[in-house]
Amino acid sequence: MSALSKLGEARIDDAIASGELTPPPPGVVLDLEAYFQAPDGWRSGFAMLKGHGFAPPEIELLKQAEKLEGQLADSVDPAGRLLLRREIDELRVRFRMAIERMRRE
């Protein structure tokens, strides 16, 4: 085992001992499907974002669209509804373009 591996193992052990890091209980099956759906070059970045409570920018686009859809459902102003619909459509197009860009990389 290299010195870097030993250092990493020691840091992980310290984090577990201090309660900063809690491993899953024994026997729990980890769901790694979403991890492996991400392109190879993006996996580590996505894992770090998710681990720190952040969503990838593509998911944020979907969240924004959902929020606007809620506003659209409550809106009674025809002009306001039209603007909301356009914003929602734009966010969904940006999401699809980002996903397509990821698939090509």
In the prediction, which pLDDT does 93 show?
A: 93
pLDDT of residue 102: 76
Q: Which residues of the chain have pLDDT under 70?
A: 105
Q: Find, among 101, 98, 103, 105, the residue nearest to 57 by Cα.
A: 98
Whole-model pTM: value is 0.55
* Total residues found in the chain within this entry: 105
pLDDT in tens, 26-46: 888 887 777 777 777 778 887
Helix (H/G/I), strand (E/B), else coil: 49? helix
Which pLDDT does position 51 carry in this prediction? 79
Please tell me the predicted confidence (pLDDT) of residue 39: 73
Position 16 scores a pLDDT of 87
CB 8 within 8 A of CB 2: no
